[in-house]
Structure 1
Amino acid sequence: MMKQLTTFFWVSLFATSSVFGQKSNDFTRIDSLIHAESQKPFNGVILISQNGKTAYFKKQGYSDLEKKTVLKDDSQFVIGSVSKQITAVMILQEYEKGHIQLHEPIKAYLPELTQGWADSVTVHDLLCHTHGVVDFNKLSLFPAGSQYLYSQIGYEILSDIVERINNDSFANLSLKLFRKIGMNNTFHPESKYYKDLVKSYNEDENGVLIPETEKTKYAPAGGFISTANDLLTWNDYLYNGKLLQQSTFDLMTTKQPNAVRNHPIFGETSYGYGITVDTNNDIQQLGQTGYVPGSVCMSFYFPESKVGVIVLENIAYDADNIKETFFYHTAILNMVRDNLSK
């Protein structure tokens, strides 16, 4: 069904005279896509920005399907692996303060760890998924730094390091960061201060939407709660030198050795610290997809044009086919890329 919608969408989305045209009808093809009659309609929020300002914003559908509660501008979503860049920034800020070294074994910061891998796995390895740790109580799958394996547990360990350095909980420390930069609707899930978290749904094998009740196990890797507008603020701060020094930001956005993944949506994908780094067609694209059961998210940024693409959805269609699950997200992202390449 979704593939049938694609044909009309692979044409120019924006006015060719600039990245974004001045008239609202420059975005009619996105409107056509998400308004098209479908058994699997888009249910979420889309925000496209340029120069830190919203160029296109659309919310469609419900935060609660049973109650028919419509989405609001600041409806909150679990943002999945988009969370990792937040945790990465918090680690890198400690690096800038001289509190950690990126290539120091993590046992230097968490001396209670008795596992053998704690003597070889470094902060750098955790940031770019080259540590091979899949369980606290098991051996690493490969020597640190030698291979790539996408990991949630690595970011949990990073949050433990941040907590130890600051003698405070990761939930409190992240909340302080969010409030400092004006992300007033973004929370660590343990904070319990959020009020507008959407209800999320998974499509079962019979096409029935089932409310998701399972909580994300590793919040620093995939459990932060945010809004499209707050992610716009995050992108502005991160990509315009307001969170990290330029040299540190360059480390974060550099393709790291052996940090290459066969991504289920994008194919061969390179990683920096907490984000993917795509330079295909000479266009630098930074950011991340985020998926947890019932929540399908994406936040990408194009530094040269200062264009951001944020798509948050609280229905996971076709969960056994992740490309289809991200159908709306990748359709919009690809058309932005296509326009930027002209």
Structure 2
Amino acid sequence: MKFSVWILIFHLLISCDIDKPKKQDVHAALLSKIDSVISQQKFNGVILAAVDTTVLYSKAIGFSDLENKVKMDLDDQFIIGSISKQITAVLILREYENGNIGLDDTISQYLTAINQAWIKEVTIHQLLTHTHGIVALDQPLEFKQGSQFRYSQIGYELLAQVLENVTGKSFEKLLTEFFEACGLKNTFHPNNTKYKHLVKGYEANEKGDLVYRTTSLNNYVPAGSMISNAMDLKKWNEMLYSGQLVTKETLKLMTTKYATRVHPIFETVAYGYGLLFKDGEQSVQVGALGYAPGFVSACYHYPQTNMNLVVLENTANNLNDFKQTFVVHTEIMKLMKKECLVIGDRM
């Protein structure tokens, strides 16, 4: 081969390398776009984006206490709403891995005080996937178990009761021991009042004024009332998706599509065990949103690039349109998803 041909090949290789986007450049563009989203919307809370264990972006914006103008801090704690469900699911799955719970077991094998025939029909799997049909402990099923999806808080409360029966410990004690073992020092069952940095949650009234809500913890803890902060949720994602909390095989159970949910924000999504994702996008974007009165949250993982996103807000606006309530969260999620696909496809 002539020397001139080698020179041509060399220049082509150099050109391709130059045209190829660098990870740091993609990340820099992403962070700039996150700033742009925040500048265009009302937001009061904490945003954290990370790749592997490295924090790429972290900002505390606004106030943890609006009345007293206490500035928001990155370490501040929030009620995380339905993000709590994946934690309850992990505790169930750890007992499953230990052979103490069967996913196809009926709840009658663990709970006997409920005076309804359906305890011999509804399974642990159906509680995890909101396909159980239970509307109240003293009422018949709304539909035949396993035949439909209906988002439910009470199902995860029953899962906590199953855990209490299996372990002989209260759910509060189980969570406290679990969080301590995981090094999640800012994550709590709300009855464990060691938390010292819980922000106040606010909702907009009909006039658009933000009003402090005192009922933010009025939900089943296993379904929606756990307390955490951005760094702990980042660590939670790191541990969960790397197989430190459950095996990779069990994690696959969590990210398997068992039902389709008509979602108030995402329209149609697939539901696994406490985790949501667009059908077929388990390897692209997986996680959960959370809502408690005054608290608007997102915790998502991007498997292709091992990136994590946590958005915690303590002001809830536009409650007549949840797409607007979560607009900062979902717009940043779109950016994360797009940029992660760029990195995954081209690098």
TM-score under structure 1 normalisation?
Answer: 0.90
Uncovered stretches (5+) of structure 1, i.e. residues with no partner: 1-14
Q: Which residue of 2 aligns with 1:341?
A: 341
Q: Which residue of 1 aligns with 2:86?
A: 85
Say whether the 8 Å CA contact 2:75–2:197 is kept in structure 1.
Answer: yes
Residues 167 and 190 from structure 1, CA distance in 2 versus in 1: closer, same or farther, beyond 3 angstroms?
same
Letter paired with 1:33:
V
Secondary structure of 2:287's partner? strand
Equivalent positions of 1:1-342 (< 5 A) are: 17-21=21-25, 27-36=31-40, 41-214=42-215, 215-256=217-258, 259-279=259-279, 284-342=284-342
Query: Quick check: which one's helix share is greater?
Result: 2
Q: Deviations over 1:229-252 (max 9, x none)?
A: 000110011000100012111111
Question: How far apart, CA to CA, are the structure 2 residues paired with 1:283 and 1:247?
Answer: 15
Q: Deviations over 1:173-200 (max 9, x none)?
A: 1111111111001001111111100000
Residues 292 and 16 from structure 1, CA distance in 2 versus in 1: closer, same or farther, beyond 3 angstroms?
farther
| Deviation of 1:271 (Å) | 0.6
Which 4+ stretches in 1 moved above 4 angstroms? 22-26, 279-283
Letter paired with 1:109:
Y
| Deviation of 1:45 (Å) | 0.5
Question: How far apart, CA to CA, are the structure 1 residues paired with 2:267 and 2:292?
Answer: 20
Question: How far apart, CA to CA, are the structure 2 residues paired with 1:226 and 1:282?
Answer: 24
Q: Deviations over 1:187-240 (max 9, x none)?
A: 011111111000000001101101011132211000000000000110011000
Say whether the 8 Å CA contact 1:186–1:227 is kept in structure 2.
Answer: yes
Say whether the 8 Å CA contact 1:52–1:306 is kept in structure 2.
Answer: no
Say whether the 8 Å CA contact 1:103–1:124 is kept in structure 2.
Answer: yes
Letter paired with 1:108:
Q
| Deviation of 1:116 (Å) | 1.4
Question: How far apart, CA to CA, are the structure 1 residues paired with 2:34 and 2:172?
Answer: 36
Q: Which residue of 2 aligns with 1:4?
A: none
Say whether the 8 Å CA contact 2:230–2:310 is kept in structure 1.
Answer: yes
Question: How far apart, CA to CA, are the structure 2 residues paired with 1:282 and 1:143?
Answer: 28
| Deviation of 1:53 (Å) | 2.0
Letter paired with 2:335:
M
Aligned residues: 323
Residues 248 and 202 from structure 1, CA distance in 2 versus in 1: closer, same or farther, beyond 3 angstroms?
same
Question: How far apart, CA to CA, are the structure 2 residues paired with 1:149 and 1:282?
Answer: 21
Letter paired with 1:29:
K
Say whether the 8 Å CA contact 1:16–1:339 is kept in structure 2.
Answer: no
Q: Percent identity?
A: 42
Say whether the 8 Å CA contact 1:34–1:42 is kept in structure 2.
Answer: yes
Uncovered stretches (5+) of structure 2, i.e. residues with no partner: 1-18, 343-347
Q: Which residue of 2 aligns with 1:8?
A: none
| Deviation of 1:113 (Å) | 2.0
Question: How far apart, CA to CA, are the structure 2 residues paired with 1:26 and 1:302?
Answer: 14
| Deviation of 1:65 (Å) | 0.3
Question: How far apart, CA to CA, are the structure 2 residues paired with 1:240 and 1:31?
Answer: 29
| Deviation of 1:25 (Å) | 6.7
TM-score under structure 2 normalisation?
Answer: 0.89
Question: How far apart, CA to CA, are the structure 1 residues paired with 2:257 and 2:323?
Answer: 24
Letter paired with 1:179:
E
Letter paired with 1:302:
Y
